[in-house]
């Protein structure tokens, strides 16, 4: 097998990207009855893992079990910088599996991508004994096949659940597991052994340490673990707890995963990875203008400068009827206080691509809508190029903002501009740029929306449109000014809608907005 194939097989085998057939013929009860009993004790929750290679923190992984109407959904995700042919590549793997409440497989989607490999496999169960698979490698045509199976189907990461929640785990216990590899489409029987028991100290909460500039564990819990290994028929080397959750995984002698707090697993890796990001090089390559810009550009109006804080007085309107509160804005009576978001607000809520629960929760902010053609092939292709292999929504949002700012020239928009029209013509006004940014962000998996309001210039305000992306909260992004996040001169009044410009214009025609105070960034003399 080639090194590329070994990498794919290693990730899939280690992290449960695939499905498995669980059979225990020694039991007097049927496998289905046994799984139904286990399923009654499976609770929703999420666990996070730091991925390490030879002691270096190289990635992040997660396992999430969610209850959805009439079913369970299990999402496994991994993103890591792994060596391929001697070169470190950003590699992502994701598995989204839906099962019945009795743990019977219904359907699944598996994806694996690196600089040298792209694969997507989908599957669904037809009846009781047939599995339909659709496998696509890179840009090649999809290959559809059907595989006959016996017994209930599970993904590999649910095998530990069955091991732990069936009979109590104990050293010396043996069991047999028939696995199905969606890459080779081969059934393989594993003989598993619980060969050791130990006590682990697992970090379950963390706090940021400014001196160390990283997240450190502040609370840990003692967890009893059981070492489950394959003594024949394949590779399986993991520690699991009494609830069947993974504690540690030894994927290869060099690659391991250890359970820890989310911030330690993801934020510390994200910070380290950001220093090595090639985002600026990608933007320079993709930018039509191919020119360097400052990270935050001022509008052309004289006297304007980036602001850390603004207090606005609004007379003639009930602010509770507008979208003026939330995120970095606070409303008190007839005033709006705006503060520029700091680094803490830019932390992503989840890595990219979003899993099933995130897509359900933020479906409105991820799907296409009038004037925002998220599913246009040209929009999708550009979003993929701008996203690359990055999993951090803040990094990708900044990259998309820079591309739109550099590539879309100033110009009068159509009467009803759309994101695709702006993309095609490469020119447009503030609302056109905002809509294009939102379309690209959504196509990259980032919840985004267009907003409208005013910007404070000197002691006056002017109408404007920009965008927001969901990170710790809704954070402003202005592809016209080239700001991420926007400074405090931006005061949001409306969210979305084809009549955004008209809404803002009608408001300003009947209300009066004064700038009461401004705070500028501190500068050393």
pLDDT tens sequence across 28-48: 344 445 544 544 555 677 889
Statement: residue 368 has pLDDT above 70:
yes
Instruction: Give 520's contacts (C-beta < 8 A, 6+ positions apart).
Output: 305, 306, 307, 308
Give the pLDDT confidence score for residue 441 in this predicted structure.
96
Task: Give which of 342, 185, 413, 415 is closest to 424, Cα–Cα.
Answer: 413
Question: Rounded distance, CA 199 to CA 188, Å?
Answer: 32
Give the pLDDT confidence score for residue 230 in this predicted structure.
83
Considering the chain, what is the average pLDDT of its residues?
A: 77
Q: What average pLDDT does the segment 34-63 reach? A: 75
Read off the pLDDT of residues 9-24 as tens digits, 9 standing for 90 and up: 454 444 443 333 333 3
Confidence of residue 298 (pLDDT cuts 50, 70, 90): very low
Q: What average pLDDT does the segment 437-441 reach? A: 96
Confidence of residue 337 (pLDDT cuts 50, 70, 90): very high
SS (H, E, C) 199-260: EEEEEEEEEEECCCCEEEEEEEEEEEEEEEEEEECCCCEEEEECCCCEEEEECCCCEEEEEE
Give me the torsion for CA of 82, 85, 89, 92, rounded to 10°.
-60
What is the DSSP pairing of strand 490-495 with strand 448-457?
Answer: antiparallel
Statement: residue 292 has pLDDT above 50:
no
Give the pLDDT confidence score for residue 180 in this predicted structure.
67
Name the DSSP class of 307. Answer: -
Statement: residue 264 has pLDDT above 80:
yes
Statement: residue 58 has pLDDT above 80:
yes
The owner of tokens 């907003």 is 451
Give the pLDDT confidence score for residue 26 in this predicted structure.
32
- Among 356-365, 392-401, 508-517, whose mean pLDDT is lowest? 508-517
Question: Rounded distance, CA 432 to CA 479, Å?
Answer: 10
Read off the pLDDT of residues 110-153 as tens digits, 9 standing for 90 and up: 888 777 777 888 888 887 777 888 887 766 777 888 877 766 56
Question: Rounded distance, CA 187 to CA 179, Å?
Answer: 6
Statement: residue 353 has pLDDT above 80:
yes
pLDDT greater at residue 169 or residue 489: 489
């Amino acid at each position: 097998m080639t090194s590329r194939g070994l990498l794919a097989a290693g990730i899939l085998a280690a992290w449960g990207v695939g499905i498995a057939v669980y059979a225990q013929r020694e039991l007097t009860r049927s496998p289905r009855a046994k799984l139904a009993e286990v399923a009654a004790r499976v609770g929703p929750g999420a666990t996070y893992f730091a991925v390490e290679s030879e002691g270096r923190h190289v990635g992040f992984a997660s396992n999430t079990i969610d209850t959805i109407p009439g079913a369970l959904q299990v999402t496994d995700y991994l993103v890591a910088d792994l060596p391929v042919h001697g070169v470190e590549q950003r590699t992502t793997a994701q598995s989204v599996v839906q099962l019945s409440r009795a743990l019977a497989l219904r359907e699944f989607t598996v994806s694996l991508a690196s600089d040298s490999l792209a694969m997507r496999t989908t599957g669904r169960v037809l009846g009781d004994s047939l599995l339909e698979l659709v496998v696509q490698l890179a840009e090649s045509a999809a290959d559809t096949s059907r595989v006959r199976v016996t017994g209930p189907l599970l993904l590999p990461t649910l095998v530990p659940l069955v091991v732990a929640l069936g009979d109590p785990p104990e050293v010396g216990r043996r069991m047999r597991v028939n696995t199905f590899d969606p890459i080779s489409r081969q059934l393989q029987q594993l003989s598993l052994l619980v060969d050791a028991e130990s006590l682990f100290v697992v970090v379950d909460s963390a706090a940021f340490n400014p001196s160390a500039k990283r997240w450190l564990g502040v609370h840990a819990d003692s967890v009893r673990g059981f070492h489950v290994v394959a003594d024949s028929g394949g590779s399986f080397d993991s520690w699991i707890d009494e609830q069947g959750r993974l504690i540690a995984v030894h994927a290869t002698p060099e690659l391991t995963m250890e359970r820890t707090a989310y911030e330690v697993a993801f934020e510390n890796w994200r910070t380290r990875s950001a220093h090595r990001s090639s985002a600026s090089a990608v933007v320079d390559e993709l930018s039509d203008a191919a020119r360097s810009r400052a990270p935050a550009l001022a509008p052309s109006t004289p006297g304007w400068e980036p602001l850390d804080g603004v207090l606005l007085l609004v007379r003639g309107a009930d602010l509770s009827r507008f979208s003026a509160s939330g995120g970095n804005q606070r409303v008190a009576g007839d005033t709006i206080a705006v503060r520029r978001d700091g680094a803490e607000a830019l932390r992503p809520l989840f890595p990219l691509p979003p899993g099933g629960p995130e897509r359900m929760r933020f479906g409105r902010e991820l799907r296409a809508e009038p004037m925002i053609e998220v599913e246009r092939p040209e929009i999708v292709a550009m979003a993929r190029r701008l996203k690359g292999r990055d999993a951090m929504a803040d990094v990708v949002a900044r990259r998309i903002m820079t591309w739109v700012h550099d590539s879309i020239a100033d110009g009068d928009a159509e009467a009803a501009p759309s994101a695709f029209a702006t993309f095609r013509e490469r020119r447009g006004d503030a609302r056109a740029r905002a809509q294009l940014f939102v379309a690209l962000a959504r196509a990259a998996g980032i919840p985004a929306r267009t907003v409208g309001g005013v910007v404070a210039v000197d002691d006056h305000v002017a109408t404007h449109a920009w965008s927001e992306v969901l990170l710790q909260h809704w954070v402003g992004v202005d592809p016209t000014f080239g700001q991420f996040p926007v400074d405090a001169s931006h005061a949001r009044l409306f969210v979305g809608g084809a009549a955004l410009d008209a809404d803002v214009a009608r408001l300003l025609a009947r209300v009066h907005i004064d700038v009461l105070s401004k705070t500028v960034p501190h500068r050393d003399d």
